[in-house]
A = this chain, B = another copy of it.
Amino acid sequence: MNNSFGTRITLTLFGESHGPEIGCVVDGLRPGLRVDEDFIAHRLSLRRPGGPGSSARVEKDPFRIVSGVWQGRTTGTPLCILIPNTEARSGDYVNLKNIPRPGHADYAGSVKYKGFADPRGGGHFSGRLTAPLVAAGAIFLAALRERGIRIGTHIARCAGIADRSFGELAADLDALEGAAFPVLDETRGEEMKAAVLAAAREGDSVGGVLETAVLGLPAGLGAPWFDTVEGLLAHALFSVPAVKGVEFGDGFALSELRGSEANDAFRMDEGRIVTKTNHNGGINGGLTNGMPLIFRTAIKPTPSIAASQRTLDLSTGGQTELRITGRHDPCIAPRARAVQDAVTAHVLLDLLESV
């Protein structure tokens, strides 16, 4: 299927960047889960523009839940969330119809959809579509929290600057939940912001690496073929715009170790089976092993930049100069963090419900 994801808990996404409304349908939630609209609004606020040099568009995201909730709790029937597109300015984009923006899906999408797609603001490809994901994600995060499972994401790298690594996880996740700019070391965060602003001033953009930790997962989730925890998470994460790599535990660095270094030795810790190290990021053979789940995504620099770019005019086949005039984030990593949490929560809740 195309625009749905999940086995027990399916999420179906719909809408275009500049259409009247975007939204999603979440099916398979247990009846009786509390739905806290304030928490949804909080999570949406973490996705909202407003970081350093970020898009000046005001996205208020006044969501409505039109089904699947009764008296503040899930009914067990499909839950539909709608978010109106109140402030889109189509004029910013419409002249781009025949001029594919480098690094964007414009050209590939015109082939797939044979020229019939809504061209305004990236249409269905727009990062705007992550807003309903984040809203639904708030419900997933709350359901996981009730089971003692917590998720948090920080900007591990941005513009060449590294945040400190995860340390005492419970405290780190607490700190990240409230942080508008999600780093573990605020000094490094200030350096990142400065670097992002510097790039923005040059009409350019930067990328980053987002690292997520999950605490409290039981062992035995996932499957050897083909629904490994890694595979399911990666499948979902790669649909977040700008993600170009996903690695678990030490990931690519693990491929440089020897087996004697990479193997995480089992031991007992107060009656629980744990591993001494966690090079494998909490996953063995595609299954959770009870250790914290750790993974990272590579976020490419925002393709929409103010600086002039060379591209094609598809109507003539000739080269042309493109200057993108809309407002765009010079780095989407800070906002993408809320999406990464949401997508992670969806996959993990789905796995827990599939046991």
Q: Which residues of A contact B (CB under 8 A)?
A: 1-5, 7, 10, 12-16, 19-23, 25, 27-28, 31-32, 64, 66-68, 70, 73-80, 82, 100, 102-109, 111-118, 123-125, 129, 157, 160, 199, 203-209, 218-228, 230-232, 234-239, 241, 243-252, 254-268, 273, 275, 280-281, 283-290, 298-305, 307, 309-312, 314, 317, 319
* Contact of A227 with B21 in the complex, beta carbons under 8 Å: no
For the complex formed, measure the closest distance between the CB of A256 and the CB atoms of chain B, giving whole angstroms.
6
A sample of 26 cross-chain residue pairs with beta-carbon separation below 8 angstroms, ordered by A number, consists of: A3-B224, A4-B10, A14-B67, A16-B67, A21-B66, A21-B80, A21-B82, A31-B115, A32-B114, A77-B118, A102-B266, A102-B275, A103-B262, A108-B289, A108-B290, A109-B285, A125-B286, A208-B255, A245-B246, A245-B254, A252-B252, A255-B301, A257-B300, A260-B307, A265-B310, A266-B312
User: Which listed residue (B108, B288, B311) contacts A287, Cβ 8 A?
Assistant: B108
Report the separation of the CA atoms of residues A319 and B265 in the bound assembly, to the nearest whole angstrom: 10
**Nearest-neighbor residue (CB-CB) of A264 within chain B:** B102
Q: Which residues of B contact A105 (CB under 8 A)?
A: 224, 284-287
**Nearest-neighbor residue (CB-CB) of A346 within chain B:** B226
* Contact of B103 with A4 in the complex, beta carbons under 8 Å: no
Report the separation of the CA atoms of residues A305 and B74 in the bound assembly, to the nearest whole angstrom: 30
- Copies of this chain in the oligomer: 4
* Contact of B67 with A15 in the complex, beta carbons under 8 Å: yes
Report the separation of the CA atoms of residues A117 and B287 in the bound assembly, to the nearest whole angstrom: 14
For the complex formed, measure the closest distance between the CB of A151 and the CB atoms of chain B, giving whole angstroms.
19
- The 3 A-B pairs at the shortest CB distance, nearest first, are namely A105-B285, A245-B247, A111-B220
User: Which listed residue (B20, B118, B235, B250) contacts A232, Cβ 8 A?
Assistant: B235
Report the separation of the CA atoms of residues A1 and B223 in the bound assembly, to the nearest whole angstrom: 9
Q: Which residues of B contact A286 (CB under 8 A)?
A: 105, 125, 238-239
Q: Which residues of B contact A199 (CB under 8 A)?
A: 258-259
Q: Which residues of B contact A112 (CB under 8 A)?
A: 76, 219-223, 287
Say whether, besides A13-B78, A27-B2, A285-B108, A226 and B219 are in contact (CB < 8 Å).
no
Say whether, besides A3-B225, A117-B31, A246 and B259 are in contact (CB < 8 Å).
no
* Contact of A267 with B319 in the complex, beta carbons under 8 Å: yes
Report the separation of the CA atoms of residues A254 and B309 in the bound assembly, to the nearest whole angstrom: 18
* Contact of A209 with B255 in the complex, beta carbons under 8 Å: yes
Say whether, besides A109-B285, A258-B206, A234 and B244 are in contact (CB < 8 Å).
no
Q: Which residues of B contact A258 (CB under 8 A)?
A: 199, 204-206, 301
Q: A107-B273, A206-B259 are in contact. List 11 more A-B contacts (CB 8 A).
A: A3-B78, A15-B67, A16-B75, A32-B114, A75-B118, A103-B284, A125-B224, A125-B285, A129-B224, A205-B259, A255-B298
* Contact of B80 with A3 in the complex, beta carbons under 8 Å: no
User: Which listed residue (B14, B244, B264) contacts A255, Cβ 8 A?
Assistant: B244
For the complex formed, measure the closest distance between the CB of A113 and the CB atoms of chain B, giving whole angstroms.
4
For the complex formed, measure the closest distance between the CB of A37 and the CB atoms of chain B, giving whole angstroms.
14
User: Which listed residue (B27, B206, B226, B259) contacts A236, Cβ 8 A?
Assistant: B226
For the complex formed, measure the closest distance between the CB of A179 and the CB atoms of chain B, giving whole angstroms.
20
**Nearest-neighbor residue (CB-CB) of A10 within chain B:** B1
Q: Which residues of B contact A100 (CB under 8 A)?
A: 266
* Contact of A77 with B259 in the complex, beta carbons under 8 Å: no
* Contact of B227 with A1 in the complex, beta carbons under 8 Å: yes
